[in-house]
Structure 1
Amino acid sequence: MEEDKINLLEKYLAYQMLQLSLKFYTINKASKNFDIPKDTVKSYYFKVRKNIKVRALKRALIYLIIGSITLFIGVKGTFGESSKIILYGALLVGLGSIATSLGLFVLAFKGFVSLK
């Protein structure tokens, strides 16, 4: 297959996965739109899903590190003599980043929702 067609197929599959479309529907529609056999589309589907999981895992680690640092700054500064508003903001940002990283870990390890 042509490189351009493969890139378009992978972008289409990634878009459909992030829209939480059903696997069967996505594979059938991609097979019709790109004139590719379903087995080939299915292999690209799994390849794209693996790439999304790897990116989610990397992003989760980054959010966890940033969240831990800002949470530590917020906790450390709350008990010190600093501006409380900024440090409460650091607490909120830290907790939000950690919650986001936990959601991304679930996405990376458990995978996408599969409806049967």
Structure 2
Amino acid sequence: MITFPDIKPPSYPIGMTVEDNSIRSNFEDGSMQSRVKFTRSRAKYTLKWNSLPQAEYDVLYKFITETVKYSAQSFMWTNPATKKTLEVRITNVSGAELKTLAFWTITLELTEV
């Protein structure tokens, strides 16, 4: 199984949202009926590096574009706060900027498989 590259941890805060796995119907009398749409809620994690050195950015860029090809391959990622290892995919890459000479800012969204 592919693992996330060994680069410095992302900056804090690490964002997390949980997918709503329910479906609801509202009725004219004000009542609501709901049910489970699918069996599990996947978590999405937003990771941001504010000053990633050029060498580590190159490793991350190669991982994104060549190893996992954005969301084409899943991989194992260890949450730096909980130390729990999860199987995830990259679902968004944004905000890549060269902030200062040889230091990058980049944001990734990882979604549980």
TM-score (norm 1): 0.23
* Structure that is richer in strand per residue: 2
Is the radius of gyration larger for structure 1 or structure 2?
Answer: 1
TM-score (norm 2): 0.23
